């Protein structure tokens, strides 16, 4: 049990800063934030069927396609 705790703590120390840095990098880009807002508006505008999200996740594909069209990762 002690080895498991040590391994988890060590991996958190090593991976933690990298995860925080990538999250901050995405958050600070105003162009990316603008694209996200535009794609969310398009997603909400195109989803008229309230059942669509349950059939196969059609709503999420609208958002993802929009993000890729703008050259961003969804």
Is 74 inside a domain boundary? no
Phi, psi of 49 (to 5 degrees): -90, 115
- Our count of domains for the chain comes to 1
Quote the CA–CA distance of 37 and 48 in Å, as a whole number.
19
Stated pTM of the model: 0.52
Q: Encode pLDDT of 37-70 as tens digits.
A: 999 998 888 666 655 555 556 677 888 999 999 9
Q: pLDDT category, 35, cuts 50, 70, 90?
A: very high
Is 62 inside a domain boundary? yes
Q: Which domain holds residue 11?
A: 2-69
């Amino acid at each position: 049990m002690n080895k498991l705790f040590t391994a988890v703590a060590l991996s958190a120390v090593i991976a933690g800063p990298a995860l925080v840095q990538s999250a901050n990098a995405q958050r600070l880009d105003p162009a990316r934030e603008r694209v996200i807002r535009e794609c969310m508006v398009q997603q909400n505008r195109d989803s008229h069927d309230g059942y669509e999200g349950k059939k196969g996740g059609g709503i999420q594909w609208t958002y993802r396609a929009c993000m890729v069209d703008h050259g961003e990762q969804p």
